[in-house]
Structure 1
Amino acid sequence: MATSRHILISTSQEVSCASCSQQECQYYAVRSLSPVLRLPLQPSFCFPLQVVREYERAIVFRLGHLLPGRARGPGLFFFLPCLDTYHKIDLRLKTLEIPFHQVVTKDMVTLEIDAVCYYRLENASLLLTTLTSISSAIQLLVQTTTKRLLAHRLFCRR
């Protein structure tokens, strides 16, 4: 009495083992399980150590929450590939060009001002968890500060 065994393949094809040899059944079984078997061989599983350069800091999140302590770096740091995600923040001096904007002074003189802002990040974890766009926040801060400072000045001599 012959029994027929069926194997379900990932392409939704059914192969009857009664009509094929034992080696073919093993081949189809390994082929359908190969994506699961290759998962631990991915680079993120093999290399859970990351290098952080001298001018960078790495902020590690475990299951979406910031890990306690300071930002990692410089050097090597270990992370769990299935649970952790990390973001590298560059701490070097950066420049930001502020576009032209108009300022009206105390004596009703209209000035057109542009600026260049140089900034360096200090607290990388606070920055990453509070701001979405660093450059737009700094641009707005510089524009409002220059408007506030120049609005109280007198430029017209009488």
Structure 2
Amino acid sequence: MSILAIDPGNIESAFVMVTDDLSKVIAKGKLPNADLERCISLLVHERWYWDDPVRHVAVEMVASYGMPVGAEVFETCVQIGRFERHIEIVWGNVINYQRIYRMEEKTAICHNSRARDSNIRQALIDRFGVVGTKKNPGYFYGFKKDIWAAMAVAVTYHDKYLTDSE
């Protein structure tokens, strides 16, 4: 079984698909939102499973901390709603779906609510291993900024909702 984690954006969104024990990254990338929605459909309708059916979906959710935000943030919120609706239509009750807030990621991965992206990235490397090179790819080979954020969503989901239930 696997986890699909999404770091949403107003135009493009990053995603990772990992085994539910986090031992392997199955797929990763950043796609225009409409293309990612089509991929979500393929995961079910075309049995695009890579040996591991998706049974868990986690999407990073926007939270308000009292600061002014721009139109991009509101468009991202709309996109999160689109993903949720699409997931509901495609999967129904077959999967476990959860919103993950950035603050949850910081405290779950770094144990500090003031952690920054660089702290989260380093904590993930400390936990899973080096990025690697083209000749010797590591666990995180090919990860870029938004894909790291999607991985943080997956790890937080795993740590909060899968390890407690085992």
The structure that has the greater radius of gyration is 1
Decide which structure has greater strand share.
1
TM-score by length of 2: 0.19
Q: Which has the higher contact order (CA 8 A, sep 6+)?
A: 2
